[in-house]
Amino acid sequence: MPDRETRGGAAPLSLMPAPHLGVGMSTVRMTWLVSLSLLPAAAWGVFLFGSPALIVLAFSIGAAAAAELAATLPFGRFTLRDGSAVLTGCIVGLLMPPGVPAWVPAAASAFGILVVKQTFGGLGRNWMNPAMGGVVFALLSWPGLLSQWIAPRGGAGEAAALPPLEVLRAALSSSGSTGGTPLAILARAGYPFSDLDAQVLGWINAHLPAPLGTALQPGTFDVLAGHVAGGIGTVSAPLLMLGAWFLLSRGIVRWHLPVLYVGTFGVLTAVFGGLGTGQGLLAGGPGFHLLSGSIVLGAFFAAPDPVTSPLTDRGRCIFGIGLGGLTFFLRFFGSLGDGVAASIVLGNCAAPLLDRWTSRRIIGDAHGRAV
Amino acid sequence: MKYPTKLPRGGVNPPSETLVPPESGIANAAVPLRALIPLLQHSGKPAICLVKPGDRVGEGMLIGKADGSRSANVHASIPGIVVEVRDHCLPDGEVCTAVAIELGGEFETSGRPRQPREWEKLSRLDLLDRIRAAGVVGLGGASLPTHLKLAVTPGSSSSILVANGVESEPSLCADAAILREKASEIVEGLRICQTLLTPARTVIALGEDSAGLVHELEDLIRLKGMKGEVAVLPSRYPHGHEQLVLSAVGGGDGAAATVVNVATLYAVFEAVVLDKPLIERVLTVTGSPLLHPRNLKVRIGTRIGDLLDECGGLAPGPVKIVMGGPMRGVSVDSLDVPVTKGTSGIVAFAGAAARQAAELPCIRCGSCIEACPWDLVPTRLFKLIRLGDAAAAEREGLSKCTECGCCAYACPSRIPLVAVLRDGKRALRGTDA
């Protein structure tokens, strides 16, 4: 080629294919921002349950990172910087009860990274969410160890070392005690809520006119604020929602899937959740069930994992609705934890099918578009 | 003013790199001391060279004769002496003959008032011949010889003629500038096209940034006794694309439709009314490394390095220079590349934007599907092509891809989707042959 010369002495001009602009968000940034958005909930868990929670988180994240290194370094790749392994470790740790022996979250993380993710080729190629796979693996393997809870700081002492959801389920299955909202059943079962709960609710009931003449039930504040026993990162729904709001506002998570997931679960619980307590229809106490267990973490942080959820918004809508139904079913009629991890894993299995159903068809398009 | 009812889906909204002040005019670039004029500046066959080294050429003299109907004439953009006729490699990799002219002698036409010529009484064929002789090609990017576009059977009742004033790419604003400065000439060019095509509807489509011109254009249309509407389209890339503009103004249903870029209309006006061949064009020179980005009127054959110098020059360090716009433009490896008829802009990038980002695995986020204006599933096409199955990608619509770049722009994993899809098309052509 004639007339080709670079600028005298200056660096050569770079050549690359169009387009020459790119969107501001990158996969790496996205992944780390999801981990970051979980930080408030994690900090609350560590504050509430002390050093055991910190140890669990350290082991789950450390094991995830170590497993990622072990699976990729021999092949000359260093994928830790993409943040996905650390995120998996984060979610596994946050779903664990604080009293669990530290090797259990480590095993769950390692299983998630090595078996669920890396055997299929690493980031982007796994068909099941690694964190959820790891948690279900642990739930199936060591169900007893996964119910070692710790009483929250500032709670009613050792008596409050069980999560309200567990106590509710026990009360319903053993005594068949009937009647009332979840909080009323807990109160009858003698669940010890904190002094703070009593003070705050006392003040509110005294100073604010309650709608329809009802007073807030004991436990409302504890459950709402996440001041109870529970999973390290799942007790505080408000702090999780703070992180979720960040993800939604930055466009990292699209709203369709999580909103429909939570919505479907909430509606089903409201309509049918009361059947087990003998309340009949429309008396399920959806608020309690949405705030307890890991549904907020599952719906906003695990289920929208792009790798294992459907490709299109239409697919994601169906996915979210399906997960809501599945979680409702597993929580009220199942035995595998609170049903969130199990239903996300089951949903992941269906995601490719949803892709097939909801992808645009270019040739032979049934909708008469774009042929 | 009529707003479109049918908005195309997809597309992206890159933050505009346009650093050209919005109301700035068009400046004349310095006349180059040496012009390198490739004889392939249009889609079709290269023109046949009519000159040899040592020949003296005048301003606007024919130096390349169209080779058949799917080709276009090429003229000398400066007066002077032909110093070289040789093979030249265009930025897209095609090789063609190019004529190098060294400036000398008198400007016979520039700077002198031209007498407008009567054209209303000319026959269709004479009108088309004036446009063909002047070497007018589409200036919006595709560079199709304009006389081919205008030579369609006239008078079909469903036909629509659209003057496309929607910027073809983000960061470029030459179309808006030329609309502001040459509105009357452009509308006259549109009237010429109307005479040729006798369309049922005529629409001037503007981008949002030109919305202020609606009344002026409507007045001009009325003054000239034409029938026509002005539509304002939302600024979103790639909605300046012919097909998308057409569907937005309600003419995309397979009816006979002609879309002509506004800069091309100005060239049509100059060719028919002023008897002036296409030897210069307006383009945007912009980018963060440049001190004074602006719209320049440039002689064909000017070295892009001279234009960058005129806009403040480049700092040392890694730089990327793109001919065309930031979404579809071609990066070049030399500052000696000449401006051709199809050069709609020159964009400079520095720093991180000048380096190729590392590719990460596809995380199936679906951003590319959201962004594709043609209803394709780029991630799936990409995976099929990487697996070596371009034929399956073709069954899923690969040939509908216009390489607009929206998918690759939207990809958070920085996968060069356009480059891969282009590879797939190349593989298909290979198997066909």
Per residue in B268-312, pLDDT (tens digit) is 999 999 999 999 999 999 988 888 899 999 999 999 999 999 998
Of A76-80, B18-22, B94-98, B340-344, the poorest mean pLDDT is in B18-22
In the block, residue with structure tokens 């007498």: B115
State the pLDDT at residue A53.
Answer: 96
State the pLDDT at residue B252.
Answer: 61
Q: Closest Cα of chain B to A260: distance in Å?
A: 18
Sketch out chain B's domains with CATH numbers.
124-273 (3.40.50.11540), 367-432 (no CATH)
In the block, residue with structure tokens 């981008």: B207
Instruction: Tell if the CB–CB gap between B327 and A19 is shorter than 8 Å.
Output: yes
Please give the residue of chain B at the shortest CA–CA distance from A308. B364
Cα–Cα dist B99/A233, whole Å: 71
pLDDT greater than 80 at residue B433: no
Pick from A11-20, A102-111, B27-36, B233-242 the range whose average pLDDT is largest: A102-111
pLDDT greater than 60 at residue B210: yes
Please give the residue of chain A at the shortest CA–CA distance from B409. A22
pLDDT of B40-92, one tens digit each? 999 889 999 999 999 999 999 999 999 988 899 999 999 999 999 999 988 88
Cα–Cα dist B75/B277, whole Å: 7
Q: Residue B283's beta-bridge partner residues?
A: B296
Of A210-224, B7-21, B248-262, the poorest mean pLDDT is in B7-21
Instruction: Tell if the CB–CB gap between A311 and B364 is shorter than 8 Å.
Output: yes
Q: Closest Cα of chain A to B387: distance in Å?
A: 14
Specify the higher pLDDT residue, A202 or B407: B407
Q: Closest Cα of chain A to B339: distance in Å?
A: 14
End-to-end CA distance of chain B: 50
Please tell me whether residue A69 adopts helix, strand or coil conformation: helix
pLDDT of B186-208, one tens digit each? 999 999 999 888 888 899 999 88
Q: Closest Cα of chain B to A2: distance in Å?
A: 7
In the block, residue with structure tokens 């234009």: B307
Query: How do the domains of chain A map onto residue ranges?
Result: 27-147, 160-358
In the block, residue with structure tokens 């919505």: A263
State the pLDDT at residue A370.
Answer: 39
Contact status, residue A14 vs residue B332, Cβ threshold 8 Å: no
State the pLDDT at residue A1.
Answer: 35
Tokens for B104, please give them: 């000398």
Contact status, residue A250 vs residue A226, Cβ threshold 8 Å: no
Tokens for A81, please give them: 């910087």
Q: CA distances (Å), B300 to each of B48, B60, B100, in order?
A: 17, 11, 11
**Band of residue B24 on the pLDDT scale cut at 50, 70, 90:** confident
Cα–Cα dist B198/B73, whole Å: 26
- What number is the average pLDDT over the span B318-336? 90
Residue B356, Cβ neighbours under 10 Å: how many? 12
In the block, residue with structure tokens 């992808």: A359
Chain A contact set for B406 (CB, 8 A): 19
Instruction: Tell if the CB–CB gap between A20 and B349 is shorter than 8 Å.
Output: yes
Helix ranges, B49-182 (H):
124-133, 146-150, 174-181
State the pLDDT at residue B106.
Answer: 79
Mutate to test the interface with A, among B365, B395, B423 (most CBs of A within 10 A): B365
Please give the residue of chain B at the shortest CA–CA distance from A24. B412
Find how far residue A277's CA is from the centre of its chain: 27
pLDDT greater than 70 at residue B11: yes
From start to end of A69-196, where are the E strands?
none
Residues of chain A with pLDDT under 70: 1-11, 174-179, 210-214, 276-283, 360-371
State the pLDDT at residue A48.
Answer: 94
Cβ-based contacts under 8 A for chains A and B:
169
Please tell me whether residue B313 adopts helix, strand or coil conformation: coil
Please give the residue of chain B at the shortest CA–CA distance from A5. B334
Cα–Cα dist B96/B76, whole Å: 16
State the pLDDT at residue B431.
Answer: 65
State the pLDDT at residue B16.
Answer: 66
